[in-house]
């Protein structure tokens, strides 16, 4: 027994009075060789379901059976190449079963309401024209004995496979056991090293934090000296900007009044032009309707002329046919005359045939006379039709002259209408430009008012921030030095340079300040300066006092690098 093919394929199952369903069935093809008592080969086709062990359909094809199958289905191959060709068809079905529109399909049809009894297993190719049935095999349902034999074979194969897998798993565990022991030892070493490193890092971090706090105390005193000067400069700058904005506001209101008056005048002009445009469009539509009616009459006349010409051509063809028939009759007359001369020479032998020939001659003469009369009548009809055609041509010429004059009038009206439309478009463009100017002026006015309100709010927020910073500094100094009773002076320095520039001033401050791992105090300071600073909203840079910088550095844990210079801090 040699197994040639074993795969799970998608099969369309059809039963009588049931809807078609798709199932995944396993197709097995085996070649059975028997040597006793006679050497022969049988091809076994088995159809099973992995989910249903009682589903079994078999077919055994011998060489004699294949010959009858070959004759019935018109196969062009022999029994030796049949298994490989059948496997190729099944492989095509397997490769295309996942596509949306598969070309090769497998069908299992049964005449019973359920899958009982014999069934047809066929390979079908689909195309745009029809379904081509390449091969159809009639399978029989397996009996109880066949099912038991099949299940016994499956059970024995599963036992062999499980034994091989268990033996392989045991050998793998024996090989990997020493490596697992070494890996556990290495893991314990890494854990001990990690604990020692964490303890050393925590001690280093605490010492660095203490040194940073001492340095930020020095910067805190410098920040207090700069806050007061910052507030005074902000007040003077705000007064100047508010006066300038008020003067610009009055000028913009005057220009806005002038533009509204111009807008009303342009709207009245546009109304007049629209009325003229409506009247011109009505005239144009009326003239277009007249042109359409004239074109329809012209088309009807053209069709009548074409019909008359077709009749004339048909009659001419009929006349030509009749003339050809007359020529044929003349030839017949000549032949009959020659026959008469021959009969006169052989008068004694053909006296009996002479009477019949004379009757034929009389009939032919009668037909010639009738054909000549029909020709005369046809010529009269042709002359009448030619006269009617001449009259229709004259009428068409008159209609053409009328349509040309109407088209000229229509062209003039369209030109006038186009000129009116151009004037209307120009006025609309002028009006749109005026509206854009008015909208721009309104936007500028709104921006100036908004900036004025923002500057007022910023002054209030800056005063609140300065007061809060003074309170924080005083509380910290009182908590650290409770014996000192002297009040702190708060000078401040403000840099109002516009644009995103970085300047450097020689003073007792810190350069290149960055804050890492901020706590709650640093976060509060940063959010206040980033949201409410007037210098931030105007796109300027803020030079913080040394006391505020020291407070930020205390909160963030960053040590200053130099005490002789400081940089602008930009938000």
User: By three-state DSSP, how is residue 350 classified?
Assistant: coil
CA distance 90 to 69: 18
pLDDT of residue 354: 63
pLDDT of residue 229: 81
CA distance 286 to 280: 10
CA angle 165, 166, 167 (to 5 degrees): 95
Q: Which residues of the chain have pLDDT under 50?
A: 483-546, 549, 551-571
User: By three-state DSSP, how is residue 141 classified?
Assistant: strand
Domain boundaries, the chain: 2-157
pLDDT of residue 520: 43
CA distance 260 to 254: 10
pLDDT of residue 439: 79
User: By three-state DSSP, how is residue 293 classified?
Assistant: helix
Q: Which two tokens stand for residue 388?
A: 């009617």
Asked if 83 and 2 touch (Cβ cutoff 8 Å), the reply is no
Q: Which residues contact 545 (CB under 8 A, 6 or more apart)?
A: 222, 223, 224, 225, 226, 227, 230, 492, 493
Asked if 95 and 105 touch (Cβ cutoff 8 Å), the reply is no
How many angstroms from the chain centroid is the CA of residue 476?
65
The string of DSSP letters for 399-442 reads HHHHHHHHHHHHHHHHHHHHHHHHHHHHHHHHHHHHHHHHHHHH
* Sole residue written with tokens 């342009």: 266
Asked if 118 and 131 touch (Cβ cutoff 8 Å), the reply is no
Going through 127-189 in order, the beta strands assigned E by DSSP cover 131-141
How many angstroms from the chain centroid is the CA of residue 432?
38
pLDDT of residue 93: 92
* The domain over range 2-157 is classified in CATH as 2.170.210.20: yes
Asked if 124 and 105 touch (Cβ cutoff 8 Å), the reply is yes
Report the chain's C-alpha Rg in angstroms.
Answer: 57
CA distance 133 to 106: 10
pLDDT of residue 87: 93
The number of C-alpha atoms within 13 Å of 340 and in the hemisphere containing its C-beta is 13
Interval 57-68: pLDDT, tens: 989 898 888 999
CA distance 454 to 228: 21
Asked if 534 and 455 touch (Cβ cutoff 8 Å), the reply is yes
The number of C-alpha atoms within 13 Å of 351 and in the hemisphere containing its C-beta is 3
């Amino acid at each position: 027994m040699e197994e040639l093919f074993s795969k799970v394929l998608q099969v369309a199952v059809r039963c009588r009075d049931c809807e078609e369903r798709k199932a995944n069935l396993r197709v097995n093809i085996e070649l059975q060789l028997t040597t006793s008592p006679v050497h022969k080969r049988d091809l076994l086709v088995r159809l099973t379901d992995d989910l249903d062990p009682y589903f079994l359909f078999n077919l055994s094809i011998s060489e004699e059976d294949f010959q009858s199958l070959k004759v019935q289905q018109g196969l062009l191959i022999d029994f030796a190449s049949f298994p490989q060709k059948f496997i190729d068809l099944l492989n095509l079905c397997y490769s295309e079963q996942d596509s949306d529109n598969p070309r090769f399909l497998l069908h299992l049809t049964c005449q019973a309401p359920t899958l009982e009894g014999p069934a047809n297993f066929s390979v079908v190719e689909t195309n745009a024209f029809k379904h081509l049935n390449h091969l159809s095999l009639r399978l029989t349902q397996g009996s109880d004995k066949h099912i038991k034999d099949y299940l016994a074979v499956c059970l024995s194969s599963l036992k062999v496979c499980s034994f091989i897998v268990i033996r392989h798993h045991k050998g793998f565990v024996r090989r990997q056991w020493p490596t697992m022991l070494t890996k556990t030892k290495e893991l314990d070493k890494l854990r001990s090293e990690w604990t020692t490193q964490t303890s050393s890092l925590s001690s280093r971090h605490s010492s660095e934090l203490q040194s940073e706090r001492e340095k930020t105390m020095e910067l805190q005193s410098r920040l207090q000296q700069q806050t007061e000067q910052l507030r005074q400069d902000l007040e003077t700058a705000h007064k100047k900007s508010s006066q300038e904005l008020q003067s610009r506001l009055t000028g913009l209101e005057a220009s806005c009044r002038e533009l509204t008056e111009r807008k009303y005048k342009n709207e009245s002009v546009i109304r007049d032009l629209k009325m003229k445009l409506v009247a011109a469009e009505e005239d144009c539509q009326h003239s277009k309707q007249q042109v359409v009616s004239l074109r329809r009459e012209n088309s009807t006349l053209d069709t009548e002329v074409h019909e008359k010409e077709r009749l004339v051509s048909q009659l001419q063809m009929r006349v030509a046919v009749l003339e050809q028939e007359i020529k044929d009759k003349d030839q017949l007359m000549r032949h009959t005359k020659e026959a008469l001369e021959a009969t006169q020479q052989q008068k004694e032998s053909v006296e009996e045939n002479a009477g019949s020939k004379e009757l034929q001659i009389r009939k032919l003469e009668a037909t010639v006379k009738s054909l000549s009369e029909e020709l005369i009548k046809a010529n009269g009809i042709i002359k009448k039709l030619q006269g009617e055609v001449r009259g229709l041509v004259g009428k068409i010429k008159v209609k053409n002259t009328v349509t040309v004059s109407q088209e000229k009038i229509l062209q003039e009206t369209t030109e006038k209408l186009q000129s009116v439309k151009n004037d209307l478009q120009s006025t609309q463009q002028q009006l749109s430009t005026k509206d854009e100017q008015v909208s721009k002026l309104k936007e500028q006015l709104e921006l100036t008012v908004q900036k004025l309100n923002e500057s007022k709010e910023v002054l209030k927020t800056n005063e609140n921030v300065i007061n809060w910073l003074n309170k924080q500094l005083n509380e910290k100094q009182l908590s650290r030095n409770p014996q000192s009773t002297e009040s702190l002076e708060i000078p401040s320095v403000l840099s109002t340079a516009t644009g995103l520039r970085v300047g450097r001033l020689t003073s007792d401050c810190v350069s290149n300040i960055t804050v890492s791992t901020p706590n709650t105090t640093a976060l509060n300071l940063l959010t206040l300066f980033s949201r409410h600073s007037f210098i931030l909203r105007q796109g300027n840079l803020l030079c913080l006092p040394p006391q505020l910088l020291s407070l930020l550095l205390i909160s963030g844990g960053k040590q200053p690098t130099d005490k002789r210079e400081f940089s602008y801090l930009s938000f």
